[in-house]
């Protein structure tokens, strides 16, 4: 089986016409798709968490997709049917609340939900979840001592 994909980051992209003459405004805005944004970025306390965002891309891809065989010898990755894991991350309208949900995901080491096709990746994602959990705990403890 061969699977192809493209990871594209449009981070600060904008339509030129919408910028008018002030090309600096986009750098002052919080951008991204909220379910994939780092929790501290959602809560307005940081803006340097690309690795955490990459974790969400991997987690949500593995949780919400499956492989489909077209019958012509070709495979495709498609969205699963029914209620998808982490639905609340996509439904939450308030950034700070979403950041809090993600914080709980790490502090309580919530069970990672995956599509059966991606079960082999579970140990790797769980190790990353644990590393983030430990990192947030250490960062929080360091902030209290200041």
Give domain status of residue 104, yes or no: yes
In tens, the pLDDT along 99-145 reads: 999 999 999 999 999 999 999 999 999 999 999 999 888 877 765 55
Task: Indicate the pTM of the whole model.
Answer: 0.69
Domain count for the chain, please give it.
Answer: 1
Name the residue among 115, 110, 121 with its Cα closest to residue 68. 115
Assess if residue 36 is contained within a domain.
yes
Domain range for 67: 16-145
Asked if the structure places residue 1 within a domain, the reply is no
């Amino acid at each position: 089986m061969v699977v192809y994909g493209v990871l594209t980051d449009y981070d600060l992209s904008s339509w030129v016409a919408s910028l008018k003459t002030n090309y600096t405004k986009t750098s002052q805005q919080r951008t991204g798709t909220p379910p994939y944004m780092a929790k501290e970025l959602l809560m307005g306390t940081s803006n340097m968490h690309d690795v955490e965002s990459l974790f969400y891309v991997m987690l949500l891809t593995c949780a919400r997709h499956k492989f489909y065989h077209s019958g012509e010898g070709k495979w495709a990755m498609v969205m699963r049917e029914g209620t998808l894991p982490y639905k609340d991350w996509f439904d939450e309208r308030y950034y700070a609340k979403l950041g809090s949900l993600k914080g709980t995901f790490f502090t309580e080491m919530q069970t990672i939900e995956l599509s059966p096709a991606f079960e082999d990746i579970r140990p790797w994602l769980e190790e990353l979840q644990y590393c983030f959990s430990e990192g947030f705990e250490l960062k929080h403890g360091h902030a209290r001592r200041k």
